[in-house]
Amino acid sequence: MMEYWIYLIPIGAIAWVFWSKRSASEADIKALLGRNAQVVDVRTRGEFRTHHHPKSQNIPMDELEKAVGKLDKGRPVLLCCDTGSRSGFAVSYFKKHGFPEVLNLGSYRRLHTLLP
């Protein structure tokens, strides 16, 4: 059984690399916020009503297709949700639909430390 532990080390290292890259760095987020980034929270309407940052707008994942046209493609987009998973999926959706600068903020809670 002990011989299998050696396989867990590279798997753990790869997982850490992917996990650490799933949300943007604080410096990148602050740079985009300084350039008037659009902050989009992709949680459900109920989750958004419960807690959200006043400078974010809610576009739930299941409404992205019809709401993506309302955003300005010339401005950066920061996406957030509860844990960063849904917003991570939304990043690829936005990029696929012509938004050149899109970052995963991760949890909406990070906004409270980055935005007054």
Q: What is the pLDDT of residues 22-62, one digit of tens each?
A: 678 889 989 999 999 999 999 999 999 999 999 999 999 99
Contacts of range 61-68, beta carbons closer than 8 Å, 24 or more positions apart: 61/86, 61/89, 61/90, 64/90, 64/93, 68/93, 68/94, 68/97
What are the tens digits of pLDDT across the range 53-100? 999 999 999 999 999 999 999 999 999 999 998 999 999 999 999 999
CATH topology classification for 23-114: Oxidized Rhodanese; domain 1 (3.40.250)
pTM of the model: 0.79
